[in-house]
């Protein structure tokens, strides 16, 4: 293990967790990742291994059977997992977001019901905010929930659910028109328990997961639509028990999700750097290893600097959230920087591999297809820059 992407001030427990995860990644993920990715095969054995390690309950409080660890610990674990295969980190990411939302905003009954099973990996979560026609404009959601006695009736279509098929709990954002004039007070998060699988759901009449969306990369993990036709959900499955708070609950989830995406970018970039610097010491041109050419050394130096900068920014954003402070500025910066640097580091590693980088026999080919997803996941670079810009204007507002 090299000196890049080290984190100061970790406890012994945090170091032990990371060492265990790193060993798991090296032995159980990296050797099979490319084969499973090319087959677009769900990594069942890897997921079972993560359940045994307790990773699905990493941040869930100990009173509910979790490990009670911080966002920083989780982000560092995600960085290690993404270094092995980014899709695996996606399997735990949406689960983590939903668990965070329930722990932070749920009723006591919801916490008691969901969190112990989520900590054990028996219930696995998915996060559903986006729709086919809304992009980044969350206020434009059209999926609607209408109160009907002790139930809500949900109708609409959601898009881009990571773990949409394999999950058994989905946090779904709907328009409910119960909060007044502001569209942001007319959204509600519903907790929908379902059976894993595709097609019409046998336990939730009217709910359908049509099938997997075919993607350029980010394979293995299922990405789906979610169709709701007169789905009846008990009112006690409104997150927090009070309608109209869904937008703020979802944004809290997205905020920690942005730290997660930053961590994924750091992990993929670090793996690309490892592959690039290793290949540069094996390949020879013009009578010497290409690592001895100044042009390649310059490229490696730039790659390593980007890996280090992204890691430290991600750590800062996680620690800010853990302190209880608002971290949308830091999370936006970290997500923006890490995803952009990841793309650049992966491309440089691809160039170092030359023609072999274009071959599916080499791992860098997979990373080259995976990196673009980070540019759009949890908000595009343009959205991050809007968030950062607005926050900077708040911080540096001049007196009129």
pLDDT band per the 50, 70, 90 thresholds, residue 2: confident
DSSP string, 384-400: HHHHHHHHHHHHTPPP-
Nearest to residue 371, comparing CAs of 339, 397, 395, 325? Answer: 339
β-bridge partners, 126: 170
DSSP 293: S
Let me know the angle formed at the C-alpha of 196 by 191 and 199, rounded to the nearest 5 degrees.
Answer: 100
pLDDT > 90? residue 116 = yes
**What whole-number distance in Å separates Cα of residue 395 and Cα of residue 358?**
46
pLDDT band per the 50, 70, 90 thresholds, residue 255: confident
Q: What are phi and psi of 191, to 5 degrees?
A: -100, 110
Q: Helices 44-53 and 86-105: crossing angle, nearest 10°?
A: 50
**What whole-number distance in Å separates Cα of residue 279 and Cα of residue 99?**
40
Share of the chain above pLDDT 90, in %: 86
pLDDT band per the 50, 70, 90 thresholds, residue 217: very high
Cα 2 to Cα 6, 104, 186, 274, 309, distances in angstroms? 9, 37, 50, 9, 15
Phi/psi zone of residue 175: left (φ > 0), alpha (ψ -120 to 50 degrees), beta? beta
Nearest to residue 93, comparing CAs of 110, 75, 68? Answer: 75
When the pLDDT of each residue in the chain is averaged and rounded to a whole number, the result is: 94
Share of the chain above pLDDT 70, in %: 100
pTM of the model: 0.94
Report pLDDT for 378: 79
DSSP 213: P
Report pLDDT for 185: 87
pLDDT band per the 50, 70, 90 thresholds, residue 310: very high
pLDDT > 70? residue 1 = no
Nearest to residue 85, comparing CAs of 199, 279, 217? Answer: 217
The catalytic site residues sit at 378
pLDDT, mean of residues 316-326 = 92
pLDDT, mean of residues 1-7 = 84
Q: Helices 328-352 and 363-376: crossing angle, nearest 10°?
A: 150
**What whole-number distance in Å separates Cα of residue 243 and Cα of residue 185?**
9
pLDDT > 90? residue 178 = no
**Do residues 49 and 28 make contact, with C-beta atoms less than 8 angstroms apart?**
yes
Report pLDDT for 210: 94
């Amino acid at each position: 293990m090299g000196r890049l992407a080290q984190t100061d001030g970790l406890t012994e427990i945090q170091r032990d967790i990371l060492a265990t995860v790193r060993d798991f990644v090296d032995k159980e993920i990296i050797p099979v990742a490319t084969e499973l990715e090319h087959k677009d095969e769900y990594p069942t054995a890897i997921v079972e291994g993560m359940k045994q390690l307790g990773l699905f309950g990493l941040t869930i409080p100990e009173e509910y059977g979790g490990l009670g660890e911080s966002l920083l610990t989780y982000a560092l674990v995600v960085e290690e997992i993404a270094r092995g295969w980014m899709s695996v980190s996606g399997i735990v990411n949406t689960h983590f977001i939903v668990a965070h939302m329930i722990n932070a905003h749920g009723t006591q009954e919801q916490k008691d019901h969901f969190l112990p099973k989520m900590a054990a990996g028996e219930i696995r979560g998915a996060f559903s905010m986006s729709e086919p026609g809304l992009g980044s404009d969350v206020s434009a959601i059209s999926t609607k929930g209408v109160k009907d006695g002790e139930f809500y009736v949900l109708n609409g279509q959601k898009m881009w659910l990571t773990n949409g098929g394999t999950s058994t709990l989905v946090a779904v954002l709907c328009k409910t028109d119960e909060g007044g004039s502001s569209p942001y007070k007319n959204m509600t998060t519903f907790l929908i328990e379902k059976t894993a699988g595709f097609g019409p759901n046998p336990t939730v009449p009217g709910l359908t997961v049509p099938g997997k969306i075919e993607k350029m990369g980010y394979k293995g993990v299922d990405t789906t639509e979610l169709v709701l036709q007169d789905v009846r959900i008990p009112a006690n499955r409104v997150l927090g028990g009070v309608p109209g708070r869904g937008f703020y609950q979802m944004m809290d989830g997205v905020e920690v999700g942005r730290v997660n995406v930053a961590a994924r970018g750091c992990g993929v970039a670090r793996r690309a750097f490892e592959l690039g610097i290793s290949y540069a010491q094996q390949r020879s041109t013009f009578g010497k290893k290409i690592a001895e050419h100044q042009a390649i050394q310059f490229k490696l130096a730039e790659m390593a600097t980007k890996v280090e900068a992204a890691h430290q920014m991600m750590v800062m954003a996680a620690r800010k959230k853990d302190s209880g402070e608002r971290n949308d500025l830091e999370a936006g910066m970290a997500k923006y920087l890490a995803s952009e640097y990841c793309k650049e580091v992966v491309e440089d590693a691809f160039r170092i591999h030359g023609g072999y980088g274009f071959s599916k026999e080499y791992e860098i080919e997979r990373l080259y297809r995976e990196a673009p997803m980070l540019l759009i996941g949890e908000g595009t670079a343009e959205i991050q820059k809007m968030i950062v810009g607005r926050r900077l204007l708040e911080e540096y507002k001049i007196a009129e």
